[in-house]
Amino acid sequence: MENEQGQQKGRSNISYAIMSLIFPGMGQIVRGRILAGLLFLMNVILYLAPLAFVPQNTEYDIKTPSLLIALIIWAGSSLDAFIYRSSFLIMALLVSLLSFGAGFFGSFLILPNLDI
């Protein structure tokens, strides 16, 4: 009976990971870890935003690193949903990524428009 429970628990972990692969953070939110799920979702949205809003003819290429970071966060969301217990270190990393991205992309979009 323990094997059946262990296999079923493993299947549910896989289903949470698949949920997070489909939509970042959904596996965490379904498990009840709403803050972690929202942080994963906000980070992926933040790092995918330059793909839509930054014009292609800019002097610096921020689209490629932005896309790579978003995909890594998305994959990390799936891994975190599979493992279930994320550490304080992962939460701190998500908050710092969100803060860095908001500051960097905010300044990238605002500073060129200022007449200084």
24-28, 38-42, 104-108, 109-113: segment of lowest average pLDDT: 109-113
**Token pair for 36:** 């972690």
**What are the boundaries of each domain within the chain?**
2-113
Using the predicted structure, report yes or no on whether residue 90 has a pLDDT greater than 50: yes
pTM score, whole prediction: 0.76
pLDDT tens figures, 31-51? 888 988 999 999 999 888 888
Using the predicted structure, report yes or no on whether residue 26 has a pLDDT greater than 50: yes
Residue 96: what residue type? S
3-12, 49-58, 79-88: segment of lowest average pLDDT: 3-12
What per-residue confidence (pLDDT) applies to 112?
63
d(CA 20, CA 41): 10
Question: Mean pLDDT across the chain, nearest whole number?
Answer: 80
Residue 56: what residue type? Q
